[in-house]
Amino acid sequence: MSKIKVAVAGVGNCASALIQGVEYYKGVEDGANIPGLMHVDFGGYSIEDIEFVAAFEVNREKIGKDLSEAIFTDPNTCSRFADVPKLGVTVSPGPILDGVASYMRSPFKVYGKDRFRDVDVAGVLRDSGAEILINYLPVGSYNATRHYARAALEAGCAFINCIPEFIASDEVWSRRFEEKGLPIAGDDIKSQLGATILHRTLVKLCIDRGVFIDETYQLNIGGNTDFQNMTSEDRLKTKRISKTEAVTSLASYFMPTRIGPSDYVPFLNDKKVCYIYLKGRKFGDLPVKLTVKLEVEDSPNSAGVVIDVIRAVKLALDRGVAGPLISISSYAFKHPPIQVPDSEARMWVEDFISGKRSR
């Protein structure tokens, strides 16, 4: 199979986990059980078929470095679980736009215009031969996400939107990709075993067992820059919508629900702690209460899922499938064009891989 040429916008913790993950599992044989991947061989593509060819950042200490070094540069705190050899990809200065909140200029070490000039993103994508651009910008990057999405369209790249900006799930944007003959998957990546999937599972369990849910919340804390960036409610609107709809879409009635990032606790670094609470009524209108605490390494939690998404998008490129990829988006993202229970979405992806479903 041919290589899958991938570019990343934002070389933060998630990019670090993804790039390390690809290195960590290089050479794994088909049939091996890799925790967090649907398949080692995904429609004929293995993990080592993924090749990183371009990267964009605003951190002056990451720009100009080889991508293999930039992923371990401060303020990234993702665990180091793989040695990554030089990749031969120099990190480019991306346009800053609204990617950086005023209070994040210092933690993100944003470059000064006297030191770097932002590149023409579409030009760099074209020159690098990238086929897919992954969006890993901070939450709240409304204009910056659209700038990178437009550059992907201009350069003829598919787009994977890992953040809660509505692109794949927006009809106008997804049509733009369809018209250009390019696939798009999104929005807002789900983790392998994260707060969203766990909360969805608990809600589905209650619904399947006839428990009426009276109220539920999901509080999340963490110590990485993703959490630091999310301390301002201004940047959180779409994150709350994305995370809340992922849970409430499973119920056919109104459930008082509060979900979102709740605090930044610096010493947690890349560890995320999530508390889920649910109160309901069962037979005889008698109460049932459930409280769950989940602790995970945050960034690597979605890296395997993204590796599957990359390969699904590449299959779509090979097959000439354009526009929103319904099956992989429903399976792997919190705010897809169509919400279905996770077990159904997984079957859709299997059908997409085998060719029974077109998208």
Ligand X SMILES: NC(=O)c1ccc[n+]([C@@H]2O[C@H](COP(=O)([O-])OP(=O)(O)OC[C@H]3O[C@@H](n4cnc5c(N)ncnc54)[C@H](O)[C@@H]3O)[C@@H](O)[C@H]2O)c1
Residues of this chain that interact with ligand X (CB under 6 A) are: 9-15, 56-59, 94-97, 99-100, 108, 136-139, 144, 162-163, 188-189, 191, 224-226, 229, 298-299, 301-302
Q: How far apart are CA 197 and CA 76, in angstroms?
A: 25
Q: Closer to ligand X at the Cβ: 15 or 309?
A: 15
Q: What is the residue whose two structure tokens read 């371009």?
A: 54
Alpha carbons 88 and 85: distance in angstroms, whole number: 9
Q: What residue type is assigned to position 14 of the chain? A: C
Strands 50-57 and 92-93: parallel
For residue 88, the tally of other CB atoms under 10 A from its CB is 11
43 versus 95: smaller Cβ distance to ligand X: 95
The whole-angstrom separation of Cα 249 and Cα 204 is 10
- The smaller minimum CB distance to ligand X, of residues 310 and 322, is found at 310
Nearest CB to ligand X, comparing residues 100 and 307:
100
What is the smallest separation between the CB atom of 289 and ligand X, expressed in angstroms?
28
- In angstroms, what is the C-alpha Rg of the chain? 20
Residue 255 CB coordination number (10 Å): 20
CB-wise, 94 or 183, nearer to ligand X?
Answer: 94
- Closest distance between ligand X and the C-beta of residue 281, in Å? 32
CB of 91 to ligand X, least distance (A): 9
8 A C-beta contact, residue 225 and residue 138: yes
Q: Which has the closest alpha carbon to 194: 319, 66, 342? A: 342
Which one, 97 or 198, has the nearer CB to ligand X?
97
Q: How many CB atoms lie within 10 A of CB 24?
A: 17
Q: Crossing angle of helices 121-128/142-155, nearest 10°?
A: 40
- Residue nearest ligand X by beta-carbon distance: 12
Residue 41 CB, nearest approach to ligand X (Å): 24
Task: Give helix 300-319 / helix 342-354 axis angle, nearest 10°.
Answer: 40
Q: Judged by CB, which is closer to ligand X: 224, or 330?
A: 224
CB 99 to ligand X: min, Å: 2
For the chain, the distance separating the N- and C-terminal CA atoms, rounded to the nearest angstrom, is 21
- Our CB check for ligand X shows the closer of 229 and 327 to be 229
List b or e across 124-162, with b for residues whose CB sees 16 or more CB atoms inside 10 angstroms: bbbebebbbbbbbbbbbbbebbebbbebbbebebbbbbb
Minimum separation from the CB atom of position 220 to ligand X (A): 11
**Cβ nearer to ligand X, comparing 57 with 245:** 57
User: What's the min distance (Å) between Cβ of 295 and ligand X?
Assistant: 14
For residue 245, the minimal CB distance to ligand X (Å) is: 14
How much of the chain is in helix, strand and coil states, percent to nearest 5? 35, 25, 40
State which amino acid sits at residue 39: H
Range list of β-strands (E), 33-125: 50-57, 92-93
Least distance from ligand X to the Cβ atom of residue 218, Å? 14
